[in-house]
Structure 1
Amino acid sequence: MAAIAETDRLVALSDGVFAIAITLLVLDIPLPETGGGASAEFLGSFVREQGLEVFAYVLSFLVIGLYWVLHRHTFVHIRRHDTRLLWLNLLFLLAISFLPYPTSVLTAFPNEFGVVFYAASQTVVGATLVAVWVYASRGELLAEGISSRAVRVRIARFAVSPLVFALSIPVALFDYRVAIACWFALLPLNGVLHSRLAGVDD
C-alpha cells in the first residue's frame, strides 16, 4: 500500500510539471508594444502576423498533451517503483519542462536550425518516456495481468512520436518545410496504435 501511495506522489509531481510547461508556452506569444494607443486595424494586423507563434504554441500544446496522456497510461500499469525508475521519470520531466524553450527557438528562427532543434528536443522527450516504460516492464514493476503483447504495443505507441521527430531531422537538412509537414503524420499513426492498444486491452 505504501508503494502505491508513493507512486501516486510521483504522478502528482509529474502532473504539476506538465501543467507548468503547458502554461509557459502561451507566455511566449508576445503582445504589441504600443502603450495602449494602437488602432484596431494595427492590432488586427499584429495578431494575424503571429500565425507562426500560434502554430508553435498549438503544436507544442498538443504534443505535451499527448505525452501527458501516454504518461498517465504508463503509470496506470506501474504499481511499484525503485530509485532508477524515479530518476528516469525525472529525466522525462526535465525534457518536458524544457520544451517551451525549443518552441520559442522555433518561432524566433523558423528555418533549418529552429526545426532541427525543436525536433531533437521532442525526440529526447519521447525517448525518455520509452525508457521509463521499458525499464518498468523489464524490472517487474508492472501490475499483474498485463500481457507481453500489450507491453510491446505500448512500446510501439510510445516510440512513434520520437521516431517521427528523429526522422524529420535529416529531412530538415534538405527542406525544413517538408520536415514540419512530417510531424502531422503523428495524428494517424497515434490513432492506429491507439486502436491496436484498445484491441489488446479488451
Structure 2
Amino acid sequence: MRSGRLEAFSDGVLAIIITIMVLELSVPDDTNWGSLLEIAPTLISYILSFIYVGIYWNNHHHLFQVTRRVNGKVLWANLHLLFWLSLIPFTTSWVGENHQASLPVASYGFVLMMAAVGWYILQRTLRELDPENEDLAQVTKGGPKEIVSVVLYALSIGLAFANVWVSIGIIFGIAALWVIPEKGVETIDYQG
C-alpha cells in the first residue's frame, strides 16, 4: 500500500501536538518585563519542544519522500513514534511549570529518548520492507549522530537527578545537533 494516508495522519498528529503545546502557554499577568520573565521557563520549554517536533516532522517528510510502500508493521511503527511524540506537550508543560525539578526534566528526556527509539524502529521497519530501495537506504543509513543522541538522552535522564541544568543543556545540545538535516538527505532527487 502507498504511504499517503500515513503521511497525512502523521502530519495531522504533529500539527495537533504543536497546537496543544501553544494552547498550554499562559499570557503574562501584567504588561511589564518582570511578568514576561516569570513565564520564561514555560516559553523556553515550548520553543525547545516546537523545535523537536519540527525536527521530527522534517525528517518524517524526507523519509516518506523515498518510501515506495508501507505495510501493517510500518503503520504500527509509525504509531509507536507518534505515541512518544504525543507525550511531548505533557512533559513540556510539566518542565515549564517545574523547570528546577528533577523528575519533570528526567521525564522530558525519557520521552525524547523513546521518540528517538521509535524513529529508529520506524526506519528499520521501512528498510526491512524495501531492502532494494537505495534512496531509502541513504536516508536511513544512520550514523554516530543517532547513537550519540540516544546515549546523551539517557545521560540527561540520570543527570536530571544530580544537576537539572546540565540535563537541560544536554537536551538543548541534542536539538542543535539535529536542526540541520544531513547533506545526503537534502541531495536525494525525490522526483525519481
Matching of residues 5-154 of structure 1 within 5 Å: 7-32=3-28, 40-41=31-32, 44-110=33-99, 111-140=101-130, 144-146=133-135, 148=137, 151-153=140-142
Residue-by-residue CA offset, 1:140-159 (whole Å, 9 max, x unaligned):
2x673337565323x65555
Aligned equivalent of 1:178, options 142, 153, 166: 166
- Alpha-carbon contact 1:127-1:159 (below 8 Å) kept: no
DSSP-derived class of the 1:184 partner: helix
- C-alpha distance 158-22 of structure 1, shift in aligned 2 (>3 A): farther
CA distance in 2, matches of 1:160, 1:84: 27
Amino acid at match of 2:171: W
Determine the C-alpha separation between the residues in 2 that align with 1:95 and 1:104: 15
- Partner amino acid for 1:49? E
Higher helix share: 1
Q: Secondary structure at the match of 1:66?
A: helix
After superposition, the Cα gap between the structure-2 partners of 1:148 and 1:83, relative to the gap in structure 1 and judged at 3 Å, is closer
TM-score by length of 1: 0.80
Q: In 2, distance between residues paired with 1:136 and 1:73? A: 13
Provide structure 2 residue ranges, at least 5 long, that are not aligned to the other structure. Answer: none
Task: Give the TM-score of the pair, scaled to structure 2.
Answer: 0.84
Q: Distance in 2 between matches of 1:192 and 1:57?
A: 20
Count of aligned pairs: 188
1:190 maps to: 178
Report if aligned partners of 2:20, 2:89 keep a CA contact under 8 Å in 1.
yes
Q: Which has the higher contact order (CA 8 A, sep 6+)?
A: 2
CA contact (8 A) 1:64 1:96 kept: yes
Asked whether 1:166 is paired with 2:160, we answer no
Question: Which protein shows a greater Rg?
Answer: 1
In the aligned structure 1, how far is the partner of 2:63 from the partner of 2:136? 14
Separation in 2, partners of 1:26, 1:147: 34
RMSD: 2.6
CA distance in 1, matches of 2:139, 2:23: 39
Contact 1:126-1:159 within 8 A present in 2 as well: no
Q: CA deviation at 1:29?
A: 1.5
Between the aligned residues of both structures, percent identity stands at: 27
